[in-house]
Amino acid sequence: MKRHIPIFTLLLLFSCDIFTPQNRFKIAVPENDFTYNNSAGHLKECLEKGGFRSERVPAVNAIEANQMVAKGEADLTFAMNLSDFIPETIGANAGKLRTLVPMFRRLFFIFSRFPVADSLNARELLAGKKIGLEVLNGETHRNLELLFESGRIKDVKAVTLNDTPDLIHFWGTFYGPRATDLIEHNWSEISIDPAWIDFVTLNDPALAPFTLPAIPGIEGSKNLHTFSVETLLVGRADLGEKSVYKLSEYIFQHKLELMGYDLMYRSINEGFDVTTILFPLHNGTDSFLRRDEPSFFEKYAEVMALIFSVGAILYGALQAIRNRIMKQKKERIDLYFLDFLDVRSQKIPNSEKAEKLDELLQRALVQMTNERLDKGDFHIFSRLLQQELANIR
């Protein structure tokens, strides 16, 4: 009985997902990440209009948030598509994470306390500087370290925003409030050296060059050259397929509503490249993206119809052969019954009659052994014959 409990549990969960798909989700959100908190708020407000419910679960950083989802302590969280160190940090539990929807594109921003010449390369810009981050030892910090390592940029110290940094770095949206606020406080936005953009995008296919156009009518505004990355909505692999189907369907269909909160959601697109995403695609999202494709039965309907037709013909032929064989067996045993009646009716001595009946039984037994007689009819025949022999003797 105990061996059947896990199977019963899986069947119960599967049936629950079909008839009552989950519509309440816990979203793990890094406490001090501005963009993730903003997006969690947008997502909550949008989903609740569609009958979904969500609850924020605080995390120290994005690494911990993904770990919480992998452990089942939360249902959803966010991750930048370039953060391939997250699966390595989480370890075996990373196999429990799935991509639900590419939610938005984030841009790499660096602001300087003092004006910086556009001609400066990355090493000249960063060497010996303190760079301020929202969260130390989190996703942004680790990605920045990896970028510096790949570009062989040294002597840069990451500090908090309260430690009077020379530079401030964050991954933000197109014309977000953080950038606007820094500009109002006389921080200078830095256009990244094209050579460094080429270098980092070549080394990481998750990154793409991006040019943020100057804002018309604003003096001093200029084109900003940088690079961008998709940010994924991540969930547990064991979330029900129908639950995720309905969730991803709602998000894709309400892209315009989300864009009302922030232009960054314009990157929500069903045509994204699934081969480049950080975590495998959830079965529910995959089912939604393939919704217009014919089902297995629709795709192979003609072949299956042919197979069933051939099967029906073969079954009919086999039944006809079987019936013919049974009829032949019936006809043979009928002959033995006729011979029995003939011997019994003969006016001959009982000893001679018994001898003929014994001979008839032996012949019938050989025929039955060779499966040329129906067993049921043979048993009836043998009982009648033996009863007659008993009467004679």
pLDDT digits 0-9 by tens, 266-312 = 989 998 888 889 999 999 999 999 987 665 554 556 667 778 778 88
DSSP 3-state of 187: coil
Count of CB atoms situated within 10 Å of the CB of 318 = 10
The pLDDT value recorded for residue 78 is 96
pLDDT at 184 over 80: yes
Predicted confidence band of residue 118 (pLDDT cuts 50, 70, 90): low
Highest mean pLDDT among 43-52, 184-193, 304-313 belongs to 43-52
Q: Does the pTM of the predicted model rise above 0.85?
A: no
Of 175-189, 268-282, 310-324, 362-376, the range with the lowest mean pLDDT is 362-376
Q: Answer whether residue 203 shows pLDDT above 70.
A: yes
* pLDDT tier at 2, thresholds 50, 70, 90: very low
Residue 66: pLDDT band with limits 50, 70, 90: very high
Mean pLDDT of 64-81: 95
Examine the pLDDT at 174 and tell me if it is beyond 70.
yes
**Residues in contact with 246: Cβ distance below 8 Å, sequence separation at least 6, in sequence order:** 21, 23, 284
Stronger pLDDT, 174 or 166, i.e. the higher one: 166
Name the packing angle between helices 375-392 and 350-369 (round to 10°).
160
With beta carbons less than 8 A apart as the criterion, state whether 62 and 78 touch. Answer: yes
What pLDDT shows up at residue 144?
Answer: 92
pLDDT at 212 over 60: yes
% residues pLDDT > 90 (the chain)? 45
- Band of the pLDDT at 391, cuts 50, 70, 90? confident
SS3 (DSSP) at 59:
strand
pLDDT at position 343 over 80: no
The total number of residues shown for the chain amounts to 393
Q: For all residues of the chain together, what is the average pLDDT? A: 83
The pLDDT score that the predictor gives to residue 283 is: 93
pLDDT band at 381 (very low <50, low <70, confident <90, very high): low
Mean pLDDT of 137-158: 89
Looking at this protein, which amino acid is placed at residue 150? Answer: S
Burial 55-88 (b: 16+ CB within 10 A, else e): eebebebbbbbbbbbbeeebbbbbbbbbbeebbe
What pLDDT is stored for residue 337 in this prediction?
Answer: 65
Instruction: Name, of 12-16, 182-186, 239-243, 298-302, the range with top average pLDDT.
Output: 239-243
Rounded distance, CA 131 to CA 161, Å?
8
The predicted model gives 369-373 an average pLDDT of 64
Is residue 281 a contact partner of residue 241, using CB atoms and an 8 Å limit? no
CB contact at 8 A, 242 and 23: no
Lowest mean pLDDT across 58-62, 77-81, 99-103, 290-294: 290-294
Quick one: what percent of the chain has pLDDT higher than 70?
A: 79
Mean pLDDT for 170-195 is: 88
Radius of gyration of the chain (CA): 40
pLDDT, residue 248, reads 94
pLDDT classification of 71: cutoffs 50, 70, 90: very high
